[in-house]
């Protein structure tokens, strides 16, 4: 491999409970390896201490597997991009320390990546040189994950402005918490998605919290859901079990229409031709369908990443790193992980 001409970026993601490494060669992804942490399932949510410990165990094998799959040796790397935040501090520290040590030992540049920007950059990941899946600038991106819910005005690859956000919990938490109440596994988002397929989305109704402007509030919706289940189980203790598919379909449909209500408003305030969806919750089949319908009705082109690039992955971190590399945005070795980093 010609290291003078090629850009070979190792991406490292460890912000929550997925340890991931990817190799991006001249903007094309050659490997994207992720180790999920099943340890959290029995607790119904991510346990930060267990997550950082699992990252410690997984990081070396995951990076080795990504290099092997891409047929690249560690000496071929031209830079290392890692998630600096936002996320769980103990988890971020593992990826950050690993990236810093490797950069020091190889004498190659380090690139610090913002996890939420990287979710948006997932749209620009190419699997083949000729792929061109990306939205045109400027565009609006609805970024929905386990930790964030944001409507982002994306002017340029590195110029983004949050125009709507949750004032409390994220929509992913609203899925996961409802799953916990119903006794489903963790993360509950994909389970609710699956169960909803055989349910009636009009069977039960919920209300929309008003968080003002283009903002969201999911904390009240979680409580609304808990009270709804409690109230009905007082009348019939098998209520949840007997109505599981309809409850999931109704709740999921409500969350999706709440998300899209504000997105539609934002398009009226900020005019653009392209609309994008990003983050773990964008793997939701109902959201993907309704998002495309909304785009069509507004005359906008819609962009949804492949499922493997929606949930946390290192290919998006390497992609973000590529944008930063092009602008000469490198970090020095004094950089440290941060649980909270503003987007703009
Ligand atoms: O982006 P992500 O992988 O991690 C964070 O940065 O948070 O998002 C994880 C979230 C979890 O809350 C999970 O339940 C949700 O994404 N999720 C889904 C689906 N797949 C993952 N939610 C709804 N439907 C899905 N199919
Ligand atoms: Zn994420």
Ligand nearest to C-alpha 146: 1
Q: Give 324's Cβ-side CA count (13 Å radius).
A: 25
Of 321, 326, 315, the C-alpha closest to 103 is: 321
Q: Tell whether the torsion through CA atoms of 108, 317, 34 and 337 is positive or negative.
A: positive
Whether the CB-CB separation of 119 and 279 falls below 8 Å is answered with yes
SS3 letters across 21-84: EEEEECCEEEEEEEEECHHHHHHCCCCHHHHHHHHHHHHHHHHHHHHHHHCCCHHHCCEEEEEE
For residue 176, give the ligand 1 atom closest to its CA. Answer: 14
Domains observed in the chain: 8-125+309-326 (3.30.420.40), 139-304 (3.30.420.40)
Pocket test for ligand 1, best of 32, 113, 280 (most atoms within 8 A of CB): 280
Residue with the nearest Cα to atom 23 of ligand 1?
189
Average pLDDT of the chain?
Answer: 95
User: Is pLDDT of 4 > 80?
Assistant: no
Pocket of ligand 1 (CB under 6 A): 16, 145-147, 172, 175-176, 187-190, 193, 279-281, 283-284, 311-312
Q: Ligand 1, residue 312: give the atom nearest the CA.
A: 3
* pLDDT value at 225 more than 70: yes
Give the pLDDT mean for 268-288: 95
| Closest atom of ligand 1 relative to the 173 alpha carbon | 12
Q: What is the pLDDT of residue 3?
A: 44
Share of the chain above pLDDT 90, in %: 89
Confidence of residue 129 (pLDDT cuts 50, 70, 90): confident
- Please give the average per-residue pLDDT across 283-295, as a whole number: 97
pTM for the model stands at: 0.94
Residues 154 and 138: beta-carbon distance below 8 Å? yes
Q: Stretch 204-227: mean pLDDT, rounded?
A: 95
As given in the structure block, the two tokens for residue 62 are 């995951």
pLDDT of residue 2 exceeding 60: no
Average pLDDT score over residue span 100-126: 97
Nearest residue CA, atom 16 of ligand 1? 280
Nearest atom within ligand 1 for CA of residue 186? 14
Ligand 1 centroid – CA 336 distance (Å): 26
Predicted confidence (pLDDT) at residue 17 exceeds the cutoff of 70: yes
**Does residue 332 register a pLDDT over 90?**
yes
* Mean pLDDT calculated for residue range 161-173: 97
Does residue 5 have a pLDDT over 70? no
Instruction: Give the mean pLDDT of 302-323.
Output: 96
Q: Among 41-55, 84-98, 160-174, 328-342, which is the least confidently predicted range?
A: 41-55
Among all ligands shown, which has an atom nearest to the Cα of 46? Answer: 1
Helix 219-235 to helix 244-269 angle (10° resolution) is: 160
Closest residue (by CA) to atom 22 of ligand 1? Answer: 189
What average pLDDT does range 75-98 have in this prediction? 97
Categorize the per-residue pLDDT at 46 as very low, low, confident or very high, splitting at 50, 70 and 90: confident
Burial 215-231 (b: 16+ CB within 10 A, else e): bbbbbbbbebbeebbee
């Amino acid at each position: 491999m010609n290291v003078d001409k090629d850009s070979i970026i190792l991406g490292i993601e460890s912000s929550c409970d997925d340890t991931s490494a990817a190799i991006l060669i001249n903007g094309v992804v050659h490997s994207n390896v992720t180790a999920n942490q099943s340890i959290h399932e029995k607790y119904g949510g991510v346990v930060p201490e267990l997550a950082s410990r699992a990252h410690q165990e997984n990081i070396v094998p995951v990076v080795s597997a990504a290099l092997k799959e891409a047929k690249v040796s560690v000496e071929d790397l031209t830079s290392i991009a890692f998630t600096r935040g936002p996320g769980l501090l103990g988890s971020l520290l593992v990826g950050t320390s690993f990236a810093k040590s490797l950069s020091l030992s190889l004498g190659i540049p380090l690139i610090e990546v913002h996890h939420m920007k990287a979710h948006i950059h997932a749209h620009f990941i190419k699997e083949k040189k000729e792929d061109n899946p990306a939205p045109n600038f400027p565009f609006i991106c609805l970024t929905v994950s386990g930790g964030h819910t944001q409507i982002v005005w994306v002017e340029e690859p590195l110029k983004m402005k949050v125009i709507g956000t949750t004032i409390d919990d994220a929509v992913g938490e609203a899925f996961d918490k409802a799953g916990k109440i119903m006794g489903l596994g963790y993360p509950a988002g994909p389970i609710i998605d699956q169960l909803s397929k055989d349910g009636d989305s009009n069977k039960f109704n919920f209300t929309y919290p008003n968080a003002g402007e283009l903002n969201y509030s999911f904390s009240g919706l979680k409580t609304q859901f808990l009270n709804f289940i409690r109230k009905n189980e007082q009348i019939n203790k098998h209520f949840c079990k007997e109505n599981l598919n309809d409850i999931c379909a109704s709740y999921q449909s409500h969350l999706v229409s709440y998300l899209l209500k504000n997105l539609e408003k934002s398009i009226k305030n900020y005019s653009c031709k392209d609309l994008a969806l990003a983050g773990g919750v964008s793997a939701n089949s109902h959201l993907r369908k309704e998002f495309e319908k909304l785009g069509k009705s507004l005359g906008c082109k819609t962009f949804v990443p492949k499922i493997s690039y929606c949930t946390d992955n290192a290919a998006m971190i390497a992609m973000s790193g590529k944008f930063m590399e092009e602008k000469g945005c490198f970090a020095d070795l004094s950089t440290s992980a941060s649980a909270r980093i503003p987007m703009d």
